[in-house]
Each structure stands twice: as structure tokens, then as C-alpha cells.
Structure 1
């Protein structure tokens, strides 16, 4: 059992012929069941060709019809990435994972509005995210596969590098991960912390969850309040940016303190009040988790 993806998932790479798309598709295909999972690429100008044996199609719809793929991963450059997401949504894929960083906020706002108006059931992960992994089964994205280990801890994070930090700690303690999900740090994105917590809550093979957030936006607070009323499993949390000055934009486009409730300390206070144990030291996350299990 896992959330969102498993060894039977079939994946389309949008942007498979670009340098980044080639590199990461190769890495994902070489991980666990990747050879069977990565079944198609999309590039209208190269339809009929292939990338190292993976057939390339003119459109996402063609790729999905021909291969039965239900998931796509996007490495399309920022100017065309929102259109690439929309193409996957129109093809009615179950899940679209957008790795691309730097998509204009206006493009994402328009896309989310179109998805809502269309009543789309497609789940969007990202943009500006590392993707997700179910260890020993499949990875879709840019995370290093070798640090992961099959286990029963769910990880959800806005930060890519902090995801890897938490994963490595959990692996070192011998606990392993059920799935690890990077939701991305942009202000307008798809799945939120709350959505992923709900998936982990309903997953019989996840025993506990690490939630990693950042300054800026209400997502972590929304998730904590949902968890207080609904979560049946222990959750521990970390919020990056405790020392960040108000009004200064940090690394992620979404990491901007707009007001008092957006600071890392304010979020930590809410998480603690909702029963989520927190730490200000990211190197202590796995130990903290073990203490609450």
C-alpha cells in the first residue's frame, strides 16, 4: 500500500527530450520498477521517435490512450509549463506532477481557475517540487532514490532539500518511508499539506507522519487544524524560517511573511496547540518522531 503511486503506476514524461527531462527520466527508470513504469514521452515535434526505447507521442492524450498511463511528470520550461499541466488535465489523467520551477504566478492562477471551472478531478502536485516516491516501488521526480528505504513513515514537505534530510534520518533510524511527497514551495500549487495528511491518515501502511513547512501562507496552519480533529496517527512538524525577517522574500516564491500568522514561530505555536510535536532543529525530526510513536 502507498499513497498516489505504486509499482503498477504508468507514467508519461512531458518534456522528455529536453536535457532535464532526459536526465531525470533516466534516473527514475533505473529506480525499482521504473523500467515498467515510464512508458511514454510527449513532444509534438518528435512524435513517432523514442527516447532510449520510450516512445514519444504528439500529445498527452495520445500517450495515455496508447499506453494506459494515468500519471504525468512535467519538466517543460517555465513559459510553457502551465499549458503542459492543462494538456494533462484535459487528457483526464489521475495525477500530474510538475517539477518545473519559475512558472509565473499569473499562469498558475489562470490554470487553477480553469481547472476549477472544468470540475477537473486531476490531482496536481507542484509546481516547483521534487516529486514523490514510494520506496522500492517507484520514484517520479528528482529526489535521490538511494537514501530511501521501505517503511511505515509518511513524509510531506514544501522544501525539497528538507524532504531529503527527513528521509535520510528516518532511513538511518531503520524506520523507512511509506511514501515521501514534496508539494513544492510556490504560492499557487496543487496538493496541500492537509490533502497529503488525509491520504496518509487513510493509508493502513503509514503509522506516523513528518510534516515540513515554511514561512508564508496558511497551508501548515490549515493542515494542523484539520489534523487536530481528524488525524488518527502521530504527526511531528518543522517550520523553516524561524529567523527570517518579516517582508523579506526567501528562496521559495511562497516563502514570504505577509503578516503575524505567517511567521515560523506563529505556525509552530499553532501546530503545538493542535497536538503536533515540533522542533526548531531539522536534524532532530526523526528522533522526535520516534519519541511520539
Structure 2
């Protein structure tokens, strides 16, 4: 099985007619993703990449039965695009866009919650979600891994790709890049809970980074609710205090949010933490050999 994205998922692309939307629509189609259309109010009624373009998300859902939207919309317009998806009650909205203002993300996340959580948001500033061999919604390369029994949740796009590649012979049920902004729609805990419930996910790789307390909260959740083995990596051991490292949320202030503190919290609850991404992959191999 897979979490949230399967071969049955019907995907629309908001911003499909733009340069990034076009490029990644082609890549998603090549990966076998069932893309059923795009959304662009100014080009409604046209055809792009052989797919119909709709004026609104609601129209696309009514015509195609779409249940996933991937958002390739510039930062200034991302909030309105996501709000449109939420109001149309699409079950999954994957927001790839980088540079979305934090207050915009907070606003559309709050709108989703107020609407009863009918729309799950992944991102923004994320690589998306991929269920290898089944479907790919976002920018994760489709040819770097294979279907398998590992679930992956990561703040980092590039580390997502590295772990997927290094464990390509073992394979993944689903890989979720949740993004590294201070406010995101789906958390480590959301993914841990879903992987725990997925009968075909046997072990979980969790990638975190400096800043905030998401990894510490994930550790507490693992202790109480996760029975499957978890292996982790925390990026940023050498990051200087007070300097943003890559992601807007990856900043250490004083002793809060350090990689060492996160490592200790995870190890305390039985999670094996690698010193490097490659060591993390080796730890997961050991886990899978024993299953």
C-alpha cells in the first residue's frame, strides 16, 4: 500500500501552463501519475500537454473526479490557489512553491482546519509526495528508487532524494517531503501516524534538521504510538548559532533546536540516528535485514 497517494489518485496541476508546471507535469506523466487536467482561469477551455485546462479547482473536480492538486503557482498567488483548493474540498493539496510568506501559509492552514480538515496540505516549499511505481505528485525524481516497504518523511528535498537512492534496492512505500518552512501543512507526526497504520510499511526513515522542536515532538509521539522501527537523520550538526541554514525554519537560537538535542531526544525513545545520510541508510539496511 501507500499513504495518501496511490495509482488510483487523480491529479490536477494548478499552474500547469507555466514553465515549472509544464516541466513537472511532463515528468509526473512519465512516472505514471494519473494527471487529469490543469487549472488556470485565464486559459480555461484550452488544452495543454494533451490535458484539459479548467477555470477553477471546483470545475476540475466536477469534471474529472480529481482528488489531488499539485500547486506550481508563484509565491504571491499561492495563498489564493490553496484557498481555492481548500474551498473545493480536494482531499490532498501538495504545495511545491518556495518563498510563500509565513502569514499566508498560516492563513490557508487555518482555513483548512476550520473547514474540518477535509483537505490535507503538504508543504509549502517541499518536493512533494511519491509512491514509487504508483504515482508521483511534485518534483521528486521518479527513477531513483523502487517500490518497497520503507516509509520516508523528510524536511529536506535533497536528503529525501539521497536516502531514496541509497535504499533503492530495498524500496519505499511512500516518501513525503514535508518542507522546511516554519509553518507547514503536514508534520513528521502526521506521516508517522499514517505509516504506522499502513500494513505494507515495515520501517520508517525520518529526516529532520535544526530549528524548532518538531523532531522532539516526533520523538514523544514515537514513544507513545509507533511500534515500527524508526531510523533518523538530523541535518545541521555544524551549523553556526543564529544563522539560517537553507530553510526558513532551520535556525538555532541559543540551546533551542540544536541537532544534538534532537538526536538525544530521538535516541532516548529508541530511534537509531545516523551521523550522516549514508550511515542512516546503513542503519535502515540493518533493520530491514532483521525483518
Give the TM-score of the pair, scaled to structure 1: 0.96
Whole-Å separation in 2 of the counterparts to 1:26 and 1:177: 23
Whole-Å separation in 2 of the counterparts to 1:14 and 1:124: 14
1:46 is aligned, of 23, 43, 47, to 43
Partners of 2:86 and 2:111 within 8 A in 1 = no
Residue 277, structure 1, aligned to residue 275, structure 2? no
The equivalent residue for 2:18 is 18
1:53-64 equivalences under 5 Å are 53-64=50-61
RMSD: 1.0
Per the TM alignment, residue 120 of structure 1 is displaced from its structure 2 partner at its CA by 3.3
The equivalent residue for 2:120 is 123
The equivalent residue for 1:218 is 213
Give the TM-score of the pair, scaled to structure 2: 0.97
Per the TM alignment, residue 289 of structure 1 is displaced from its structure 2 partner at its CA by 1.1
SS at match of 2:152: strand
Whole-Å separation in 1 of the counterparts to 2:105 and 2:146: 34
Partners of 1:96 and 1:124 within 8 A in 2 = yes
Whole-Å separation in 2 of the counterparts to 1:117 and 1:193: 21
Segments ≥4 residues shifted beyond 4 Å? none
The equivalent residue for 2:7 is 7
Whole-Å separation in 1 of the counterparts to 2:204 and 2:38: 33
2:174 is aligned, of 166, 174, 179, to 179
Per the TM alignment, residue 259 of structure 1 is displaced from its structure 2 partner at its CA by 3.9
Partners of 2:109 and 2:121 within 8 A in 1 = no
Per the TM alignment, residue 217 of structure 1 is displaced from its structure 2 partner at its CA by 1.2
Whole-Å separation in 2 of the counterparts to 1:72 and 1:145: 18
Residue 137, structure 1, aligned to residue 142, structure 2? no
Whole-Å separation in 1 of the counterparts to 2:216 and 2:16: 37
Partners of 1:169 and 1:285 within 8 A in 2 = no
Per the TM alignment, residue 112 of structure 1 is displaced from its structure 2 partner at its CA by 2.2
Per the TM alignment, residue 57 of structure 1 is displaced from its structure 2 partner at its CA by 0.3
- Aligned residue pair count: 288
Structure 2: tracts of 5 or more residues without a match: none
Per the TM alignment, residue 53 of structure 1 is displaced from its structure 2 partner at its CA by 1.3
Residue 229, structure 1, aligned to residue 208, structure 2? no
The equivalent residue for 1:71 is 68
Whole-Å separation in 1 of the counterparts to 2:56 and 2:157: 29
Residue 198, structure 1, aligned to residue 193, structure 2? yes
Whole-Å separation in 2 of the counterparts to 1:119 and 1:204: 26
Structure 1: tracts of 5 or more residues without a match: none
SS at match of 1:2: coil
1:152-191 equivalences under 5 Å are 152-171=149-168, 174-191=169-186
